[in-house]
Amino acid sequence: MKDFLPICREDMEKRGWDQVDFTFVIGDAYVDHPSFGPAIISRVLEAEGYRVGMIAQPDWKDENSINVFGEPRLGFLVCAGNMDSMVNHYSVSKKRRSRDFFTPGGVMGKRPDHATVVYGNLIRRTYKNKPIIIGGIEASLRRMAHYDYWDDCLKRSVLLDSQADIISYGMGEKSIVEIADALNSGIPVEEITFIKGTVFKTKSLENFYDYITLPSYTELCEDKLNYARSFYTQYCNTDAFSGKCLVEPYPNNIYVVQNPMSPPLTTEEMDRIYALSYMRNYHPCYEGQGGIDAIKEVKFSLISNRGCYGGCNFCALTFHQGRIIQVRSHESILAEAEIIIKAPDFKGYIHDVGGPTANFRKPACQKQLTKGVCTNRQCLFPKPCPNLQVDHSDYLELLRKLRALPGVKKVFIRSGIRFDYIMADPDETFFREMCEHHISGQLKVAPEHISDTVLRTLGKPENSVYRAFCKKYAAINKKLGKPQYLVPYLMSSHPGSTLKEAIDLAEYLRDNHLSPEQVQDFYPTPSTISTCMYYTGVDPRTMKPVFVEHNPHGKAMQRALIQYKNPKNYDLVHEALEQAHRTDLIGFEKKCLIKPRNKNDKAFQNKSKKPQKGKSRHKLTDAEKKFGISFEKYDSIQKAEKQRSKQNTAKRRKK
């Protein structure tokens, strides 16, 4: 029967079950939609004949909260949720967030910090020997020793701290079925060491071969450079075809062993997963509590692919989904679109068609499908690889089919667009049709920065590529007669960015009349190259030193420079310009970022003309007291600024 999976014993009994095979403990509310990992895993197991009961957001202070279904026949599954619980709870400044979009009514505090660890220990206190399998983004990215930004220390594998038996890392559909089948066949959980896409612990390595031994946890704690070397070894072994088994030793003869990643899903396998009987909404028990906000962004969106070979250093996709693109067929996506169209609250707009990178619909090259990705080079960075197959034709055809469906008014693209990939395509057809049909007035792209120094540490293309994209975007929209804009995502305080680079970015924004409403400080989340740089101070690929801004005040100055027009940021911007010896940017000239604070301002104190000898001194006006210049001069400057502002506004409207 098509229904939500059981969330209580009464639901279980209605199905005629006397016991579940797996109890699934999750940190989010229960949302049965294919954009939510627990929904996919539970439905995949259901399709294989296993009985799954869902316990969403249990009270971790109450040991009975995980006994809703009694003892499961095979074991417990644990997932902290669609986000890392610490990212969900805290901003980059480590301030507690006020709202949880994965909790009924947005209420904060319904899950613990480090939820995977807390839930694992909660279960283990009651069920001493029952298998515990952990997964999801939190467990996946903490599968080996990792730097924890929130506690500012190196932590052990989450497998050990949670007292779990196995980690199913990555997307997990293949490995979770193999784990379930092994348990169902009677294999003890400690002997399940042969499944790709899993991490397990052992006290002996005598039955293992062809593995790489990483520095021990003790060595990692003793020297950060050991961690940088270890991390890069892991990074080079994230491929399902070429990746080796990795072993991380711990005290007391404990070894955490990571098997190679699961093979990428075929199109047929992807289609089968997204055709399962999802209810496509949150459980109705949350209706009276305000519902789940997170469903709003995905309810009328379509996932078309997985994986990303973009190689951004601050992104953990390489560790989680891998670099090989996996896609659904057009038929599968169109079938899901038909379901969306029939929804009573569908207004004719498909909000998104994409994935981690929307315009990737095929592997970067054919070699990846048999030999895997290159371990020592990227597909797009620093330049597109000569073997890169740039082709938007399949994605373009899919978009055309979707916008031709009856009842569809508009199909938008809101997930990531790789502008460098678009620029590498000699055929402008996709670019033109994207501007004509798939943008709602503005396109969000992620150049992240404009300094080539910082872009190299980010793993992003040179700024010249983005500038060329902007020029082409403007030309196409002008030809189409569409007043559409670009909204750039920008990042402050990324490793490699000093005040100099932050000021360069501010000047770029000034020259292009941009005022970003949103700015993301670099957030050191587990298992990214950028986080490794942040913790160790070196680039793990070269072992060369990288500047890292650790001081919160220094970070605040870099962030403020991007929004230098905001009056609240005045003091920080002023301090940053003085500290960087760029007081030439304080004044009334067109190039200046901010005006002087007062007549004693170091940048401006010499600009006031002294009265000539023999001439009487006049009484200082308010303008002179404030700025050290005459009222007439001040007034003329203000009028000139207003005139320039009107002219710039007129130019933008004309464009």
Q: What is the DSSP string of 106-168?
A: G-S-SS-TTHHHHHHHHHHHH-SSS-EEEEHHHHHHTSSSEEETTTTEEE--HHHHTT-SEEE
Domain assignment of residue 608, yes or no: no
**If we measure between CA atoms, which residue out of 170, 199, 178, 183 comes closest to residue 37?**
170
> Do 399 and 504 have their domain in common?
yes
pLDDT band at 612 (very low <50, low <70, confident <90, very high): very low
Does pLDDT of 94 surpass 60? Answer: yes
> Do 176 and 288 have their domain in common?
no
Question: What's the confidence (pLDDT) of residue 408?
Answer: 97
Domain at 66, CATH number: 3.40.50.280
- Whole-number Å distance between alpha carbons of 162 and 27: 14
Does pLDDT of 650 surpass 80? Answer: no
Percentage of residues in the chain with pLDDT exceeding 70? Answer: 91
Rounded to the nearest angstrom, the gap between the alpha carbon of residue 558 and the centroid of all alpha carbons in its chain is 21
> Do 165 and 304 have their domain in common?
no
Q: How many CB atoms are closer than 10 A to CB 156?
A: 19
Task: Choose the weakest-confidence range: 250-264, 432-446, 588-602, 619-633.
Answer: 619-633
3-state secondary structure of 337: helix
- Whole-number Å distance between alpha carbons of 25 and 41: 12
Domain end among 488, 522, 556: 522
Q: How many CB atoms are closer than 10 A to CB 428?
A: 12
Domain end among 501, 522, 543: 522
560-583: per-residue pLDDT in tens?
999 999 999 999 999 999 999 999
> Do 56 and 182 have their domain in common?
yes
Range of the domain at 192: 9-198
Q: How many CB atoms are closer than 10 A to CB 647?
A: 10
> Do 176 and 286 have their domain in common?
no
Domain assignment of residue 605, yes or no: no
Question: What's the confidence (pLDDT) of residue 618?
Answer: 42
Question: What's the confidence (pLDDT) of residue 637?
Answer: 59
Question: What's the confidence (pLDDT) of residue 135?
Answer: 97
> Do 68 and 179 have their domain in common?
yes
The average pLDDT across 300-312 equals 94
CA distances from 547 to 454, 493, 560 (A): 10, 10, 19
Residue 467 identity: R
Task: Choose the weakest-confidence range: 76-85, 523-532, 607-616, 628-637.
Answer: 607-616
Contact at 8 Å (CB) between 533 and 458?
Answer: no
pLDDT band at 416 (very low <50, low <70, confident <90, very high): confident
Q: Quick check: pTM over 0.75? A: yes
> Do 158 and 307 have their domain in common?
no
> Do 182 and 306 have their domain in common?
no
Q: Can you state the angle between helices 267-274 and 330-341, rounded to 10 degrees?
A: 20
> Do 412 and 310 have their domain in common?
yes
> Do 314 and 448 have their domain in common?
yes
Question: What's the confidence (pLDDT) of residue 604?
Answer: 58
pLDDT band at 315 (very low <50, low <70, confident <90, very high): very high
**If we measure between CA atoms, which residue out of 233, 240, 244, 242 comes closest to residue 208?**
244
> Do 187 and 297 have their domain in common?
no
Q: Residue 356: how many CA atoms within 13 Å on its side-chain side?
A: 20
pLDDT band at 327 (very low <50, low <70, confident <90, very high): very high
Contact at 8 Å (CB) between 410 and 434?
Answer: no
**If we measure between CA atoms, which residue out of 251, 233, 305, 247 comes closest to residue 527?**
233
- Whole-number Å distance between alpha carbons of 402 and 411: 7
Does pLDDT of 554 surpass 70? Answer: yes
Helices H / strands E in the chain, number of each: 24, 24
> Do 288 and 178 have their domain in common?
no
3-state secondary structure of 492: strand
Question: What's the confidence (pLDDT) of residue 466?
Answer: 96
Q: What is the DSSP string of 208-259?
A: --SEEEPPPHHHHHH-HHHHHHHHHHHHTT--TTTPPEEEEEETTTEEEEEP
Does pLDDT of 426 surpass 90? Answer: yes
Question: What's the confidence (pLDDT) of residue 32?
Answer: 98
491-509: per-residue pLDDT in tens?
999 999 999 999 999 999 9
Domain at 446, CATH number: 3.80.30.20
Domain assignment of residue 33, yes or no: yes
Question: What's the confidence (pLDDT) of residue 153?
Answer: 97
More confident residue, 611 or 140: 140
Reported as type and span, the H/E element at residue 486 is strand 485-492
pLDDT band at 635 (very low <50, low <70, confident <90, very high): low
Question: What's the confidence (pLDDT) of residue 651?
Answer: 67
Domain assignment of residue 44, yes or no: yes
Domain end among 172, 198, 224: 198
Q: What is the DSSP string of 587-600?
A: SSSTT-SB--SSTT
pLDDT band at 615 (very low <50, low <70, confident <90, very high): very low
Residue with tokens 């760029």: 582
Does pLDDT of 286 surpass 70? Answer: yes
Mean pLDDT of the chain: 92
Does pLDDT of 616 surpass 50? Answer: no
Does pLDDT of 141 surpass 80? Answer: yes
Does pLDDT of 518 surpass 90? Answer: no
- The domain tally of the chain equals 2
Domain assignment of residue 102, yes or no: yes
3-state secondary structure of 339: helix
Cis peptide, bond prior to residue 426, ω within 30 of zero: no
Residue with tokens 């190196």: 154
Question: What's the confidence (pLDDT) of residue 415?
Answer: 81
Domain assignment of residue 384, yes or no: yes
Domain assignment of residue 429, yes or no: yes
CA 147, 148, 153, 159 dihedral sign is negative
Domain assignment of residue 322, yes or no: yes
